Amino acid sequence: MDRIETKLVFGGEQRRYQHDAATTQCRMTFSVYLPPQVAERKVPVLYWLSGLTCTDENFSTKAGAQRVAAQLGMALVMPDTSPRGEGVPDDPEGAYDFGLGAGFYLNATQAPWSTHYRMYDYVVEELPALVESTLPLDGRRAIAGHSMGGHGALMIALRNPDRYISTSAFSPIVNPAGVPWGRKALGRYLGEDPAAWAAYDTVALVQQTEHHLPLLVDQGTADQFLEEQLKTDRLEAACESSGYPAMIRMHGGYDHSYYFIASFIEDHLRFHYAAITAGQTPPD
C-alpha cells in the first residue's frame, strides 16, 4: 500500500492509497477514513461501494460521513468502482453505464472483461485482507453503497453473511437481471444466459438466503431512475414473500443525488454501529 494523500477531518485522517491488485491485475486506488479512536484501539469498519461513473473520492468528499464516523469510532473504506489503467478495456462506445466506472461488483467471465473486471473478489477478499492486516481495524465489518454500489453492497452481504454484520443501500439497483442497466452489464460481463445473473441479483438472493442480516434501504420518490432502473417495489415484494425483515424507507421528494445521501448517512452509520456493537448505546 502506497499512501498518496492524507487530510485531517474531525480529528481523524482521510487517506488515499494505491496498490497493485492481484484480482483485477492493475493498480487500484482506494480511500480510507480512520477516526481519532485509532490512536487508542482498533475499530470496526464500514465498506462503502459507490455508483456508476464514481471513483473512491465521491463518497469521501460529498456525503459528510466523517463527522459521525469520528463520533462512533468507525473506519470507512471506499474502493474504486472498477479497475482502471493501461490495458483495462472500456466500453467501445464510451457509455457511462459499462466499462470504466461501471464494474458492477462482479467477477466477469467473458472476454475481454474477465482478466481485469473481478471487483467481487477484490471487494470481498483482497481489499479487506490488505487493509485489515495493515490498518488498525478490528475485523468487524459492515457494507453499504449507492445505486450500482447499493446493488453491490446488498448482493455481497447476502452472499457472504459470515463476513458482514449488516448491510445498507441508498437507491440500489435491486434487480439488475430485470432492468436495462443490469441486463447490459450482466450480459456483457457474464454472457447472455440469465441463469448466470441470479448470483448477482439482490431480489433473487433475498428469496434464497436463510441468514437475515440487518438490512436498510433508503429510496427517494423523486429519483429519476426509480421506475426504470431501481425497482424498489420488487425488493419489497421479495422480502415480504420470503419473510426477510428488511427496513425499506421511501422518502418523498428526494432524488438520486448525494444531497439525498448526505441527508440520511447518519442514520446508516448509526444503524451499522448498533448492529456491530450488538445494540450498545452509541456515543453522543
Residues involved in catalysis: 147, 223, 256
Backbone angles phi, psi at 263, to 5 degrees: -70, -30
Residues 6+ apart with CB under 8 A from 235: 172, 174, 175, 202, 203, 206, 217, 246, 248
Cα–Cα dist 45/51, whole Å: 20
Q: What is the per-residue DSSP string for 49-108?
A: E--TT--THHHHHHS--HHHHHHHT-EEEEE-SS--STT----TT--TTSBTTB-TTSB-
Query: Distance of alpha carbon 262 from its chain centroid, rounded?
Result: 16
Cα–Cα dist 95/190, whole Å: 18
Q: Which residue, 140, 115, 114, 126, is CA-closest to 80?
A: 126
